[in-house]
Structure 1
């Protein structure tokens, strides 16, 4: 069903446009605003208050002011807030889905999927809140009793990307709430509306004033810069590009901040000669075209065994050509726009460079004329030295390269500075485990093209970052460990 203009208008009127500081939506100190656009039309959706350095420091002051009290809040109380937030997100699911489609472009079906995925972080960490155990024991010498506790790390800066507006916010906010840490959230300039609406939802769920503060703005550095230099900040969690992540790590070293970095990716998708080809094609479509390929887990390098390459390529091309490109609010659309014109030019530039280096365009390869920033779903047949194989594409472009044997596939998979996600299709479980042992990635999909889950640890190795989000590991990112040693009571007379 196509969404009406009236539905869009009514939803946008419910989105807070201010900065959330100490539980109140306020205007930016500068008095300036910045626009948010619909990438499917290029038209302005809404204007938000343009937060800057002064606002960021006010937000940090609010977080610092309530940190001690929030840290002592009973775990059950924090858990109930998260559970109420989960319920509210489910009640407002259609609002969240439409809002993401409007500001980011993904089809409504995918946006609804993200509501389910993003909401699960609230439910998962509501359950983990009351199960975050320390430990008690005796030292090996028997002279001391050990108490190991997990304490909130303190005020945290959360910087989220534009491609998953709800899930990236819940994946950071939920474990921080669970751990008892306060926050300043900096949403992406391109897609802040979902975060604004989510923050209001957290307030509606009973989150106390000052625990979550939101500073949206047109300049990330004006917001993060002064916060990173302030001794009250104790942690940064960042999801975004590797170059920006490197700079933030350097800045974090000045105050020895705890850091979580979920950075770039260049996922290989390996199809072995014994794979179920139909299942592999279905998995490749999911791993490549989810979010129009604008995901750090996207399959950017399709590696296919030479014996099954012809069958796979034929079926893969048929599936790509069957996709309908258009505005995500329209019925039957399953490929939305690229986020903006600069990003679309980057994608087209990679395709052009690959073709100049000898790649063959199997299907697609062109920008779509008209309003918005659409690009045709594209398959390129490339050699293993093609420059596009070294790039994080962030668009609906799939380079396909052939390999000869298992060792060759492993070499191709590891030929990247990134190490976030990888996928493999094979009927041989022993091979799957053997290959997993030898490829350098934090996430591996075995006969599955979508593997992200709130209960699973998400994160990479090499230039893809450090730390983990989700799973039992996620809450630990927002805690510090404290050891208390005391005389063994059996030795005290």
Structure 2
């Protein structure tokens, strides 16, 4: 009886804490209205740190998705003809409101994703930077006038919005992955239906609330929520409906391939930002202390749950021992595991039990095959069932699954190399091609690595690549298209050629 009362009191305290979040919404957002699922079914969103229920949201199905697409299609009829200046003004106001509500947004991110509050604040700043960038970029999506090969004729190239965009976003950056896509497509004159991750829809709904306050017209930005049970059928509608012009997805390569196949049925344009397997390469000339500090950023951001996170640490044999020792010391000193709301915590829980299972399996298998965990390598059960220790593996072979697969967790796998040619061969021996990192003071070597690494992004002496200004994206099976920069907005346009003839008549 005492335990029951303690549990009830704890739940009441938890519920009260969540009710104080003024941006917390428990309805979807369709055509400018807060909406239930047609079936009235809901499902629970839980805090991964303690499994407490934050809110219940609509469990929408394919028919609800169709309604949202129709709303976006109707809104596109007028939105596409708004001036770039007007779209810029609205995006700027949305940005201002998100800036003003940074703390509330960050609390929501921490509640539903588990990441430390300081990191959540960083994500909101990063996500806001895209709204700011695209508020400016909206007025600079330009066409071309091309010199004509014929007399008395003019060639015009103009960019026109592609239409309704289906936006499917992941759980690891529940705010930034939405603003990066939606800011770009709205700047281009498109409308959208957003399906956030089943695990983290609350930040998306908060963004919708602020978009409404900013004056985003109804039907432009729609957010539908759905559980895993309905995700496949909803995704099918978002990919195949004739009103949809483009599918924008960030997530795993496996799911990206499925969506790509569905999009092919209607010859839809796709913008896919998929999984990575980033090499982190350290040469003898590198500033090792700097490389170690950057390695901590590249690996343990969001507890390793990032597509650009360093996954394979390739360390030259001359500096291998020094790097490994420094890495072990930094993990011991800086990786503080715990709930994201606790002061001083730097690494929160993994998002769900499936993620814990995947990480554990990869590490356990590597150890059984001869790898050694110098630190970490297990779940901290006293904290909860999703708190996996920051782990450093040595004696790793390039053939091990922990090395060939994207771990998406707090695991550093170290491998020695001796020559530039050898490390290039190892680094490029993957179908993933998103991010890569190189540490060297040799300028010629830096340029050679930039040229020869088969990745869409190369960071030289830096472990953080992402910003609103550069083009973000990968090659091979890591994706199609780019996000951020002016190219991110152009992804949501069609290039039209107009020949102006008979001008001498």
Q: How does the TM-score come out when normalised to structure 2?
A: 0.95
User: Where in structure 2 are the equivalents of 1:86-235 lying within 5 Å?
Assistant: 86-218=95-227, 219-235=230-246
1:419 is aligned to 2:433: yes
For 2:233 and 2:309, the matched residues in 1 are separated by: 30
1:472 is aligned to 2:486: yes
Kept in 2, the 8 Å contact 1:11–1:99? The answer is no
SS across alignment from 1:326: coil
1:140 to 1:8, Cα distance in 2 relative to 1, 3 A: farther
Structure 1 residue runs of 4 or more that deviate by more than 3 Å after TM superposition: 4-8, 10-14
For 1:102 and 1:405, the matched residues in 2 are separated by: 46
TM-superposition CA deviations, 1:227-264 (whole Å, max 9, x none): 32221111100111111111111110111101001011
CA shift for structure 1 position 372: 4.4
TM-superposition CA deviations, 1:150-185 (whole Å, max 9, x none): 101001100000000000000110011100101000
Find the counterpart in structure 1 of residue 501 from structure 2: 487
Kept in 2, the 8 Å contact 1:215–1:223? The answer is no
SS across alignment from 2:24: coil
- How many residues are aligned here? 488
For 1:414 and 1:464, the matched residues in 2 are separated by: 13
Find the counterpart in structure 1 of residue 343 from structure 2: 331
Find the counterpart in structure 2 of residue 460 from structure 1: 474
1:254 is aligned to 2:265: yes
CA shift for structure 1 position 8: 3.4
SS across alignment from 1:302: strand
1:46 is aligned to 2:55: yes
1:488 to 1:283, Cα distance in 2 relative to 1, 3 A: farther
CA shift for structure 1 position 435: 0.9
Kept in 1, the 8 Å contact 2:21–2:104? The answer is no
Q: 1:375 aligns with which of 388, 401, 404?
A: 388
SS across alignment from 1:133: coil
SS across alignment from 1:380: strand
List gaps (5 residues or longer) in structure 2.
1-12
CA shift for structure 1 position 18: 1.2
For 1:199 and 1:372, the matched residues in 2 are separated by: 32
CA shift for structure 1 position 143: 4.5
Find the counterpart in structure 2 of residue 64 from structure 1: 73
Find the counterpart in structure 1 of residue 365 from structure 2: 353
SS across alignment from 2:183: helix
Q: 2:291 aligns with which of 276, 280, 288?
A: 280
1:488 to 1:442, Cα distance in 2 relative to 1, 3 A: farther
Which region of structure 1 is more displaced relative to structure 2, 361-370 or 263-272?
Answer: 361-370
List gaps (5 residues or longer) in structure 1.
none
For 1:91 and 1:426, the matched residues in 2 are separated by: 40
1:364 is aligned to 2:376: yes
Find the counterpart in structure 1 of residue 34 from structure 2: 25
CA shift for structure 1 position 487: 1.6
Q: 1:81 aligns with which of 77, 90, 95?
A: 90
For 1:373 and 1:327, the matched residues in 2 are separated by: 10
SS across alignment from 2:364: helix
For 1:336 and 1:93, the matched residues in 2 are separated by: 20
Kept in 2, the 8 Å contact 1:42–1:372? The answer is no
Kept in 1, the 8 Å contact 2:15–2:54? The answer is no
1:389 is aligned to 2:398: no
Kept in 2, the 8 Å contact 1:122–1:174? The answer is yes
Find the counterpart in structure 1 of residue 279 from structure 2: 268
Which region of structure 1 is more displaced relative to structure 2, 449-458 or 134-143?
Answer: 134-143
CA shift for structure 1 position 141: 3.0
SS across alignment from 1:65: helix
For 1:338 and 1:6, the matched residues in 2 are separated by: 22
Find the counterpart in structure 1 of residue 456 from structure 2: 442
Find the counterpart in structure 2 of residue 312 from structure 1: 323
For 1:243 and 1:143, the matched residues in 2 are separated by: 52
TM-superposition CA deviations, 1:262-317 (whole Å, max 9, x none): 01100000000111010000011000000100011010100000000111110110
For 1:364 and 1:341, the matched residues in 2 are separated by: 18
For 2:492 and 2:345, the matched residues in 1 are separated by: 39
CA shift for structure 1 position 362: 1.1
1:7 to 1:316, Cα distance in 2 relative to 1, 3 A: farther
Find the counterpart in structure 1 of residue 311 from structure 2: 300
Which region of structure 1 is more displaced relative to structure 2, 133-142 or 111-120?
Answer: 133-142
